[in-house]
Amino acid sequence: MSSAETDRRIATILSALRGLSPAELQAAAQAAPPPLSGHLVRLAAALAAPDPEAALAGLLDALAADPKGLGEQLGSAEEGLQGQLSGLKTLLETLGAPLDNLTLPDALPDDLDDPDLAAILTEALQLSGGTDLAEMMREAIAEGSALSDDLAAAISQARRDPEQAARTSAAIQDRIQRLTDTLTTLETSAELLPSAMSMLDRLRRLAAARQHPVAAEIAVAEAALWDAAGDQPPRILQARWRAALDLALRHQALPIAQQAAQRLQLRALSRRQPLPAATAAADIATLARALGDRRAEVLALLEEALILAGVHERRDDALMRLRGALARAAGHPALSARVRLSAGQTLEKLGEHGEARRAWRELLKQPDCETAFPAEYGRARLYIGRQEARTGRMEDARANLTAARNTGRNTNDWLLYAPALIALLKDRVAADDITGAGVLIREARILAPRGGPKAVEALEGMVDFLRGRWGTDAVDAATT
pLDDT band at 6 (very low <50, low <70, confident <90, very high): low
| Whether pLDDT at 361 is above 90 | yes
Helix (H) or strand (E) holding 277: helix 274-291
pLDDT band at 216 (very low <50, low <70, confident <90, very high): confident
- Arithmetic mean of pLDDT, 187-196: 56
| Whether pLDDT at 134 is above 60 | no
Question: What is the secondary structure of 420-468 as a DSSP string?
Answer: HHHHHHHHHHHTT-HHHHHHHHHHHHHHGGGG-HHHHHHHHHHHHHHHH
Residue among 339, 336, 346, 344 at smallest CA distance from 366: 336
- d(CA 357, CA 382) in angstroms, rounded, equals 11
Q: Which residue has the higher pLDDT, 187 or 98?
A: 187
| Whether pLDDT at 381 is above 90 | yes
How many CB atoms are closer than 10 A to CB 126?
9
| Whether pLDDT at 407 is above 60 | yes
CA distances from 231 to 9, 165, 215, 249 (A): 64, 50, 23, 27
CA distances from 406 to 207, 250, 268 (A): 53, 47, 37
**pTM greater than 0.85 (yes/no):** no
pLDDT band at 452 (very low <50, low <70, confident <90, very high): confident
pLDDT band at 95 (very low <50, low <70, confident <90, very high): very low
> CB under 8 Å to 411, separation ≥6 — which residues?
374, 375, 378
Helices (H) and strands (E) in the chain, counts: 24, 0
CA distances from 408 to 298, 319, 334, 412, 416 (A): 26, 30, 19, 6, 5
Which residue type is seen at 384? I
Q: Which residue has the higher pLDDT, 261 or 126?
A: 261
Share of the chain above pLDDT 70, in %: 56
- d(CA 234, CA 241) in angstroms, rounded, equals 11
CB 254 within 8 A of CB 300: no
Q: Which residue has the higher pLDDT, 33 or 235?
A: 235
pLDDT of residue 99: 44
pLDDT band at 334 (very low <50, low <70, confident <90, very high): very high
pLDDT of residue 127: 44
pLDDT of residue 333: 95
| Whether pLDDT at 23 is above 60 | yes
Q: Could you report the per-residue pLDDT of 390-403, keeping only the tens digit for each?
A: 999 999 999 999 99
Provide the strand spans (E) within 62-144.
none
- d(CA 303, CA 307) in angstroms, rounded, equals 6
- Arithmetic mean of pLDDT, 327-336: 94
- d(CA 353, CA 151) in angstroms, rounded, equals 62
pLDDT of residue 185: 63
pLDDT of residue 68: 45
